[in-house]
Chain A
Amino acid sequence: MRFIEPILLAGLVVAALPIIIHLINQWRYQTIRWGAMMFLLAANRMSRGFARLRQWLILLMRVLAIACLVFVIARPLAGGWLALTAGGADTTILLLDRSPSMAEQDSGSGQTKLAAGKRQLADAMSHLRSSRWILIESTTNQPRELESPAALEQLAETGPASASADLPAMLSAAREYMAANQTGRTEIWICSDLRANDWNADDARWEALRSGLAALPQSVRIHLLALARTAPANLSIRATRVRRRETTDGAELLVSLRVEREGNTDRPVSVPIQFEVEGVKSVVNAEFAGSEFELRDHRIPLGRGDINRAAGDLRSQGWGRVSLPADANRADNDSYFVFSEADEQRSVIVADEPAVAEALRLAASVPVDPTERIAAEPIGLDQIATIEWDKTALVLWQAPLPEGEAARQLAALVDRGGQVIFFPPRQAGEAEIFGVRWGAWKEISDAAAGAIDGWRGDEDLLANTQSGQALPVGELKVRKLCSLSGDVTPLATLIGGQPLLARAVTPRGGAYFCTTTPAPADSSLAGDGVVLYVAVQRALAAGAAALGGARQMTAGRVIGDTSDWRRVTGDESVLSTEYAYQAGVYGSGDGLVAVNRSEGEDRAEVLPDERLAGLFRGIDFSRIDADTTSTSPLIQEIWRSFLAAMMAALVIEAWLCLPRPVRSWNPGPVMRAAPAAA
């Protein structure tokens, strides 16, 4: 428990007054010669059980009454055990989870988790003393100083966002702040709804965080304000794929979407899905019983594209939105998309060997959708200068790693979202790119050793198909393998542990390294061409999405400068500095960008308690479970309670002091007359 005026607690010594008076009274006893001892002995025999306890209770009540009075004057703060431990820090760092799941509303109060969390935090902080208040919110992960805890509710940067939170990154930012500013005793308050997507409990950074926090010289205490309750039956919608294609009547949009429902229920539900394209709305009623509903290639006619293009209309490039009716979480009821006349998806193949070049060309030149226009251009190393980098979505590189201008251009392509897949050359050389270099070739004579041990089926190039089927990566056979050195994330590994496909660490785009080639002497990549084809096509689609005139982006992972963005549609209250973190459609130059929440936000998986406890093992950590329906603050002044307790103690003391009900006693013939004569 903490007190606003702790100095006054010195007055608690006064609580010992009843005991001191009792002891003095005992010490001042008198001695008397007494005849009627038999009644005293009988009284002592009766003085058992509650009768004996009563005297101690009376003393206790008196001590309590005085102690309560002192507590009242000292103005205690309550918040369960929270008030016992929190406060008194030199620096208080507030980590605020602004992810879309925090926008979940309480059905009764209509208050979102984020608003409730901010209110409770601000209220609690107002009772705690701290020299500095630092806010790290989940979009930028940058520490900023607050004048007072009350600013938490006033700042626009603490409102709801569409970007997912990255708790390990937020905590890392807090740790770096503590280390850089040499803070004193620090308290970290985390306000989050414990979504597994935001906490990334499997992330390797947690281990480093624990050791980093433990290594700090100052005392660090972490409080988690958990708003973990999920809203059952909440629906979320996402446009999974939007394509524009030409028709005889002009053009049409093919919109695929997915609706997910929280909770495990088979209750049939009918949901009106609203499609909005450039302000034109239409509604499709979806009826489903499970937890997921998927609509594929819903057609929306756009009219004659040539007419629109001639008129400068944006129908050849436009925006749209799919929406659900309001439910528990409004942040996942909209999904934005943009579309444009399909540009040619261009890939460049730089290969030493014709066999490899041909295999890669085949994989890169056959479109998944016949209406799409894709082009693959094999070139030699001497033709690199002719590459139109601005129009290239994917580079397939089977040659010594580039150096100089070529390397710089490749890095620039990846930095703006382009993709590159490197295949090993016969002569590796000493060159290095993205921190990775090729090593020596190794022939795998044992067929078993050339089999695939495992691969990442959940994401990236080798992810399962939309229907959930795994790619036949396990059927691949590798005969020759080139070793790889550098910091990479393996996407597929052989039985010996060597990576087959790995991804270099880059802030944007994708730089992949395949440790063998599609040449028949090296592997069955070309023979069992499905894996190579899918991987190349996915890389091409990702690169084209980043380079096209209409780009889909995930909030918080926006590529490029956003300073020139203008809002086309979306929440009008959003600041321009927050465009990268808020869902909506934005104009950038001549193109359009649709920003949506990440896919992980559609899954309401909450971090289990034991996993959470494991994340903070060895750290001074406490958890407070809060609720959006709760109106009681985390910490509040409770002097009234102590006043009531004091009054209760006095009443009980008075009751205990009351004479016990003794039956009326008539002293009988004892008559009181004149005093005895001497």
Chain B
Amino acid sequence: MSVLRKPREFLDPQVLARLAGIPLFARHPMQGTVSGRHQSPHRGSSVEFAEYRKYVPGDDPRRMDWRAYGRSDRYYVKEFEADTNLRCCLVLDTSGSMDFGSRGTTKLEYARRILGTLGYLALQQGDAVGLTCIAAGVVRQIPPRRNPAHLSAVFDVLQVARSRGPTQLADTLHELAETVRQRALVVIVSDLFVEPELLRGAFEHLRFRKHDLAVFHLLDPLELDFDFRRPMRFLDMEGGAPIFAEPNTIAERYLAALRLYLDAMKQIVLETAVDYHRVNIDEHYESVLGRFLVGRTRRRGGR
């Protein structure tokens, strides 16, 4: 790939090669500027039949289905799906909590791999790729472009992204929903450490703007299991006050709070039709992406 002028740590060529065979489909019709792999809200000239429509004066007579006329003695125009490209907006949470990783890999590094790979795959199939880094607000934003050279800029931003500061995820997503034009595939990679009810509004806002919203919810195994043996002093990675806790005494309630949070999150993503993927960063990102891509392929095939 000529655009990859220097090796990126978060890209694995073998993974890219394996995943390149699986197309990235949008779940909803997209409004692209050029022909692509994605369904368009408009009729077009693809080979995929869409519907019959009664002929009205002004229609191109070449699109008239003469076989149907022969059978029904009526004029029908045969319409085909229009394929277009999409605008893929990659959203990276760079708040302080993304710097946590108990098994050698931080959530930010894991997010880089997912977003880098997705960006590469999207650009490969002609989609426009943009990147937005968010924390307390929008930290850095690169608008979507189809230009392969643009991918390098995206990778550069991914490369230098650093976890810092508190999270204002909901407000920032509201802002993105307003600023991203047209229909787009919005891919959010974050640990979503905000109140689920706050996210509900942000997700509904994005969906209202007809964006196809996919969320990768990154969680560290230690955050899920809370497997501590000794008293711990927890320093808030986002600048809050530290907490001293005896794991034996608090683990039970911590897990209960986590369970309530995850249950609430599950309910919200179901209600807002978000393509939600809870990811234990102990799992290899290729599996996560493969599941993500295949899932979208199935949906399109079933349509």
Asked if A284 CB lies within 8 Å of chain B CBs, one says no
CA distance A218 to B240 in the complex (A): 68
- Give the residues in chain B near A676, CB-CB below 8 Å: 103-105, 110, 281-285
Q: How large is the interface on B (under 10, 10 to 19, 20 to 34, 35 or more residues)?
A: 35 or more
Given A29-B244, A671-B280, A677-B284, the answer on whether A39 and B103 have CB atoms closer than 8 Å is: no
Q: How far is the CB of B106 from chain A (nearest CB, A)?
A: 10
Determine if B257 and A32 form an interchain contact, defined as CB atoms under 8 angstroms apart.
no
A662 CB–B CB distance under 8 Å:
yes
State which residues 640-678 of A face B: CB under 8 Å: 659-660, 662-663, 665, 667-678
Q: B250 to chain A: which residues have CB within 8 Å? A: 40, 43-44, 47
Q: Are B284 and A31 in contact (CB under 8 A)?
A: no
CA distance A44 to B249 in the complex (A): 10
Task: Flag B217-247 by CB within 8 Å of A: 1 or 0 each.
Answer: 0011001100000111111111010011110
B83: CB under 8 A from chain A? Answer: no
Bitwise, A50-90 to B at CB < 8 A (1) or not (0) is: 01001100000000000000000000000000000000000
Given the interface pairs A43-B250, A43-B254, A671-B280, the reply to whether A36 lies near B105 with Cβ below 8 Å is no
Contact yes or no, B284 A32, CB < 8 A: no
A46's nearest neighbour on chain B, judged by CB, is: B253
B279 within 8 A of A: yes
Of the residues A28, A36, A677, contact of B223 by C-beta under 8 Å: A36
With a CB–CB cut-off of 8 A, which chain B residues contact A25? 230-231, 246
Contact of A29 among B232, B261, B283 (CB under 8 A): B232
Q: Which of B96, B237, B238, B243 contacts A44 (CB 8 A)?
A: B243
Tell me the bound Cα distance from A37 to B237 in angstroms: 8
* Residue of B12, B220, B254, B285 with most chain A CB atoms under a 10 A cut-off: B254
* Given A30-B230, A47-B253: A36 touches B277 (CB 8 Å cut-off): no
Decide yes or no whether B193 CB sits under 8 A from chain A. Answer: yes
Query: Does B262 count as interface, using CB distance less than 8 angstroms?
Result: yes
- Once A33-B100, A43-B257, A44-B250 are accepted as A-B contacts, the answer to whether A28 and B231 lie under 8 Å apart by CB is yes
**How many interface residues does chain A have, given as a range?**
35 or more
List the B residue with the shortest CB-CB distance to A29.
B231
Q: With CB as the reference atom, state the residue of chain B lying closest to A25.
A: B231
Residues of B within 8 A of A663 (CB): 259
A672–B283 CB distance below 8 A: yes
Chain B hits for A36, CB < 8 A: 97, 100, 191, 193, 223, 258
Closest residue to A39 on the B side, CB-wise? B257
A51 to chain B: which residues have CB within 8 Å? 253
| B123 within 8 Å of A (CB atoms) | no
CA distance in complex: A33, B98 (Å):
11
User: Counting CB contacts under 8 A, is B139 at the interface?
Assistant: no
Q: By the criterion CB–CB under 8 Å, are A30 and B233 in contact?
A: yes
A35 touches B97 (CB 8 A): yes
Closest B residue to A22 using CB positions: B246
The reply to whether B232 and A662 contact each other, CB–CB distance below 8 Å, is no
Once the chains are docked, how many angstroms separate the CA of A672 from the CA of B221?
Answer: 9
Our pick among A40, A670, A674 for the contact of B254 (Cβ within 8 Å) is: A40
Cβ of A310 under 8 Å from chain B: no
Q: Whole-angstrom distance from the CB of B59 to the nearest CB of chain A?
A: 48
B243 touches A40 (CB 8 A): yes
B182 lies within 8 A of chain A by Cβ: no
Whether A46 contacts B257 in the complex (CB less than 8 A), given A30-B231, A34-B100, A40-B243, comes out as yes
Interface contact B282-A672, CB-CB below 8 Å: yes
A37 near B230: Cβ-Cβ < 8 Å: no
Q: In the complex, which residues of chain A have a beta carbon less than 8 angstroms from the beta carbon of B245?
A: 40, 43-44
- How far does the alpha carbon of A663 sit from the alpha carbon of B245 in the complex, in Å? 23
A521 lies within 8 A of chain B by Cβ: no
Tell me the complex Cα distance, A667–B263, Å: 9
Q: How many angstroms between the C-alpha atoms of A632 and B91 in the bound complex? A: 81
Residues in A with CB closer than 8 Å to B285 are: 676
Is residue A38 contacting chain B, with contact meaning CB distance below 8 A? Answer: yes
Q: Does A204 interact with chain B (Cβ within 8 Å)?
A: no
Which of B232, B258, B280, B283 contacts A39, CB < 8 Å? B258
A674 to B284, CA, bound (A): 6
What's the Cα separation between A34 and B238 when bound, in Å? 9
Contact indicator B191/A35 (Cβ below 8 Å): yes
Cβ of A35 and Cβ of B253 under 8 Å apart? no
Which single member of B104, B234, B260, B286 contacts A40 (CB below 8 Å)? B234
Contact of A42 among B219, B233, B257, B279 (CB under 8 A): B257
Which A-chain residue is minimally distant from B105 (CB atoms)? A676
Indicate which residue in A32, A37, A674 contacts B232 across the interface (CB closer than 8 Å): A32
Q: Does B252 contact A (CB under 8 A)?
A: yes
Q: How far is the CA of A46 from the CA of B259 in the complex (A)?
A: 14
With a CB–CB cut-off of 8 A, which chain A residues contact B193? 35-38
Query: Which residues of B are found within 8 Å of A668, using beta-carbon distances?
Result: 262, 266, 278
Q: B256 near A: Cβ within 8 Å?
A: yes
| A138 CB, nearest partner CB in chain B, Å | 65
B254: chain A residues within 8 A (beta carbon): 39-40, 42-43
Is B153 at the interface (CB under 8 A from chain A)?
no
Q: Report if B255 contacts A (CB, 8 A).
A: yes
Q: Name the distance in Å between A40's Cβ and chain B's nearest Cβ.
A: 5
Residues of A close to B159: CB separation below 8 A? none
Write out the residue numbers on chain B whose beta carbons fall within 8 Å of the beta carbon of A40. 234, 243, 245, 250, 254
Please give me the residue from chain A that is nearest to B277 by CB atom.
Answer: A669
B68 smallest CB distance to A (angstroms) = 46
Residues of A at the B interface (CB closer than 8 Å) are: 25-26, 28-44, 46-47, 51, 54-55, 659-660, 662-663, 665, 667-678
